[in-house]
Amino acid sequence: MAKQFNVAVVGATGAVGQQMLEVLAERDFPIKELRLLASERSEGKFLEFKGEQLMVQKLDKDSFAGIDIALFSAGGGRSEEFCPIAAAAGAVCVDNSSAWRMDPDVPLVVPEVNPQDIALYTKKGIIANPNCSTIQMVVALKPLHDYGNIKRIVVSTYQAVSGTGRNAIDELRIQCGELLNGRPAECKVYPHQIAFNCLPQIDVFLENGYTKEEMKMVDETRKILGDSRIGVTATTVRVPVFYSHSESVNIETAVKISVEKARELLAAAPGIKVVDDVDKLLYPMAIDAAGQDLTFVGRIREDESVANALNLWVVADNLRKGAATNAVQIAEILAEKYL
């Protein structure tokens, strides 16, 4: 009989937590026991997994006895507190928050890009899941970087409200209904109306004028690709889309990459689907990426303003590949190679 594992999902009732349950079921992860953990507000609720109703338990310091893998999506504060507790109890933590991403003793992993870094989990018993917008970008850039050595990245993101959570999804839905019926929109989640609008702010502003989200993309990209010399600048924008993040990415490389070669490299890379036929008006769109685990790349063209540069349009489901699926893929490699 193949080995099975005791798995905990921390933050199981949240948008990403519930997506983790779906992905675990879809990919038939070898689970012996599944433990659903959340705050005391959700204690006693039931969630379905493979046709079975499982009760949500309150997260506390005793929650991880016997657990092999703990998938965390409960916010940075909970991760900072409970990942060390889970690791001390013998679990390997795969954390979806930003709490551990830049810790030098914690690997930051996208399985299609740097799966070898998973082996470094032994330092603290924690593996960090990158930011959703970073994940899809580095999946697309990895084959191009391997071939052409990326020197600089300029990225602008168009991020769905589901990246903020369920309350943001509800806010967009309600605001659309109110405005279409001639009533004013109430803003609770975002500082400004999100319906029929774009907000050039994701997370708080920092002293350098960038937002925290933008600096996540800068720092995480360098760590994942293993090259601190890459120049990265980002502008992150929240748009009135429910699911899937879109990105305009411009890269400058040391070695010239033709459009044809870029398509060839991307089409052969794991986790990527090239959708790039402008004659037929085919290019990646958020509505097509939603519910998918692939990273879609299109609008591939040379940047005529500078030598050795390309423009790309990159789209992926932020709750799946940008969060839950990436975490489960990490867990699969852990289970197969390390546990």
| Residues with catalytic roles | 132, 245
Contact between residue 9 and residue 34 where contact means Cβ atoms under 8 Å apart: yes
Extract the runs of DSSP E, i.e. beta strands, from the chain. Answer: 5-10, 31-38, 46-49, 52-58, 69-72, 92-95, 126-128, 150-159, 231-238, 245-253, 272-274, 295-302, 309-316
CA distances to 151, 156, 306, 326 from 225, in Å: 12, 19, 23, 16
Task: Give the 3-state secondary structure of residue 313.
Answer: strand
Q: How far is CA 113 from the centre of its chain?
A: 13
Q: CA 170, 83, 221, 261 torsion: positive or negative? A: negative
Name the burial class of residue 208, with classes exposed (0-12), middle (13-18) and buried (19+) by CB atoms within 10 angstroms of its CB: exposed
